[in-house]
Amino acid sequence: MVHGVWLSPAALLFSASSRLPVAVSLKIFREEAGTATSLRVGSRLDKYRILRRLGEGGFATVYSAQDLVEDRKVALKIPDSRYVTNTQSLDDMQREVRIMARMEHPSVLPLKDARFINGHFVIVFPLGEETLADRLTRRLSRAAAMDYAVQMISAVAYAHEQSVLHRDIKPDNFILFPDQVIRLTDFGLARIEKGDHEISGSGTLGYCAPEQAMGKPTYRSDVFSLGLVIYRLFSGDVPEYPFDKLPSFNKLRRGLSKDFVDLIRKAIEPTPSKRFRDAVAMHNAMTKIRYPLTDRSVSLRGAAVTDAYTRRIA
């Protein structure tokens, strides 16, 4: 609410004329938000009624909720109140929301709402079925895995095209939706790539590139993490971490074409300079592989893959 007018997340964070960030800080809204109310199943936060807790991390709790106006289920990401009162944490939350507000791609989870409600900072997303990490606990066909791989590469390529460095690509941060749709989420560690980085480790052990763990992340670091997710998708496992040489590719499922295995191999090269320079280059390489499975049951026609990458959501 600004001068009596409610603004959507995108309108709040960007100037409509120039699309440049406006000088609005979450600190202003935090001061007006008041004391945080207790949250439990059945609680209401404006038009959202909490249905159940989906998960909890060190920073925030995710709930499923019913949007009582639109009559649909959504996911609410609500940071712990102790972080909401911290200036640095508020800056981090604002950066995450601003990055997500600029992302419009079918394989990136869209931001629906972001504001203070009853003292809580509430970030709202569409509600998916489960995470990729959950799905990997059950058998997955090669064709379905390939469908997911194409969409994941497309999502990260789009992020890199928008100068967004994700820094935490892992199975838990891909959400599955009906009709074999998968979407990249959780931009809490993401940064706009400017060539300068704080010297501190970030990311998730097991999926974090060696140079990123040393505080020097680049687009190649995201490629490494994405490559490991795809490696697990087709092998059922992740190479022992950290590794100084390429893992054995014998664990990859039979039936993958040599070109596709080479793509995975290049993505997870321990030496950054030997990887794809970014996910856009990785995506371009993917468009050149017509048959990623040896039985040719899946055809990745270049135009079809490119359409999936360039298609935008209004």
Based on the fold, state whether residues 103 and 229 are members of the same structural domain.
no
Nearest in space to 112 (alpha carbons), one of 77, 81, 63: 77
Return the pLDDT at 276. 98
- Using CA atoms, how far residue 190 sits from 27, 65, 219, 290, in Å, is 20, 26, 11, 32
Return the pLDDT at 26. 57
Based on the fold, state whether residues 82 and 134 are members of the same structural domain.
no
Structure tokens, 264:
């995975």
Say if residues 292 and 257 touch (Cβ distance below 8 Å).
yes
Average pLDDT over all residues of the chain: 84
Based on the fold, state whether residues 242 and 138 are members of the same structural domain.
yes
Based on the fold, state whether residues 280 and 167 are members of the same structural domain.
yes
Residue 119's domain is classified under what CATH number? 3.30.200.20
**pLDDT, tens only, 192-229:** 887 655 545 577 888 999 899 888 999 999 999 999 99
The domain in which residue 162 lies consists of: 130-189+205-312
Residue 306's domain is classified under what CATH number? 1.10.510.10
> How many whole angstroms separate alpha carbon 116 and alpha carbon 123?
9
**pLDDT, tens only, 217-272:** 999 999 999 999 999 999 988 887 766 677 777 778 789 999 999 999 999 999 99
> In the predicted model, is pLDDT for residue 308 greater than 60?
no
Based on the fold, state whether residues 134 and 115 are members of the same structural domain.
no
> Range with the lowest mean pLDDT among 43-57, 105-119, 289-303?
289-303
Within 10 angstroms of residue 299's Cβ, the number of other Cβ atoms is 11
Which residues, listed in sequence order, are joined to residue 121 by a DSSP beta bridge? Answer: 116
Based on the fold, state whether residues 120 and 245 are members of the same structural domain.
no
Domain boundary among 96, 126, 156: 126
> How many whole angstroms separate alpha carbon 55 and alpha carbon 83?
17
Say if residues 170 and 207 touch (Cβ distance below 8 Å).
yes
Domain boundary among 126, 146, 171: 126
Percentage of residues in the chain with pLDDT exceeding 70? 79
77 annotated as belonging to a binding site for a ligand: yes
Query: What domain count does the chain have?
Result: 2
Based on the fold, state whether residues 70 and 147 are members of the same structural domain.
no
**pLDDT, tens only, 6-38:** 444 444 443 333 343 444 565 555 555 567 778
Domain boundary among 126, 153, 176: 126
> How many whole angstroms separate alpha carbon 267 and alpha carbon 260?
11
Based on the fold, state whether residues 164 and 100 are members of the same structural domain.
no
- Give the DSSP H or E segment for 164: strand 164-165
